[in-house]
Amino acid sequence: MTESEAATSFRLAYVPGVTPGKWVRIWGERMPDVPLTLAGVPAAEASDALRAGEADACFLRLPTDRTDLSVIPLYTETTVVVVPKDHVVTAVDEVSVEDLADELVLHPLDDTLDWERPPGRAANERPATTADAVELVAAGVGLLVVPQSLARLYHRRDLTYRPLTGVPESRVGLSWREDRTTELMEDFIGIVRGRTVNSSRGRQKETAAKGAAGAAGAKSAKGKAQSKGGASQGRRQNTGARRGSGTTGGRRGGGRRRS
């Protein structure tokens, strides 16, 4: 994408598990003349993608390195444990971290949770990705702890999950470069925060233009009213003059009759 194309579009990145569809739909309704392009990025690369200018904004997982970045925390996800459907933990509605003490729990290299110490027993090797770890769980090799959105993303018919307590939770936020808080960025922030279409923030130019148009319209209406009033006054003056002329003529005629 060229610089001119980037200036007339909005590039939004998102990490796995985040579903930006609602905000993208609202953008399309409010900003039909500004295309929004979507790009998925690995969670570990989200901040670097923003700093490199590869996206105008990104939905990413927190905590993250905030150097040169602005971040708005949005929501917190439930942490779940992914297990085979016939696993014993499926008998309960919620699992505690102590319940996993004797279980082999996989810890993929792209894990998004901020662990002080992962639960359960560690595997000899860490899977490269969460998707790889899900395959291992399906094969009966250990369990997996992830944010609920990732459990849904990598859903399989032979697997299920249960909420897990006593472990870190994943937070999702909107981030962008501090030096690129553009008007379009303000517009997107407003959409994510639920501002109405009539909100002034991020729409300063549009509001100013509407105000100027309104002022011009009022001035034009005032001018038309003054012109109409002047024309009416002129007609009244002309009518008065005609009436005065007729009266004078009558007096003159009367004088001639007397003589």
| CATH code where residue 116 lies | 3.40.190.10
> What DSSP assignment string belongs to 80-124?
EEEEETTSGGGGSS-EEGGGGTTSEEE--TT--S--SS-SSEEPS
Whether 189 is in a domain gets the answer yes
Whether 234 is in a domain gets the answer no
In contact, 72 and 174? CB cutoff 8 Å: yes
Average pLDDT of the chain? 83
Tell me the one-letter amino acid at 176.
Answer: W
202: pLDDT strictly greater than 50: no
Q: Do 183 and 145 belong together in one domain?
A: no
For residue 198, the model assigns a pLDDT of: 74
Rounded CA gap, 127 and 104, in Å? 13
Domain-ending residue, one of 148, 168, 188 = 168
Q: Do 179 and 57 belong together in one domain?
A: yes
pTM: 0.73
* pLDDT interval class at 253 (50, 70, 90): very low
Whole domain around residue 184: which residue ranges? 3-76+171-206
Q: Which of 110-114, 138-142, 174-178, 226-230 has the lowest mean pLDDT?
A: 226-230
For residue 221, the model assigns a pLDDT of: 53
Q: How far is CA 2 from the centre of its chain?
A: 24
Q: What is the mean pLDDT of residues 48-69?
A: 95
* pLDDT interval class at 228 (50, 70, 90): low
For residue 212, the model assigns a pLDDT of: 45
Whether 159 is in a domain gets the answer yes
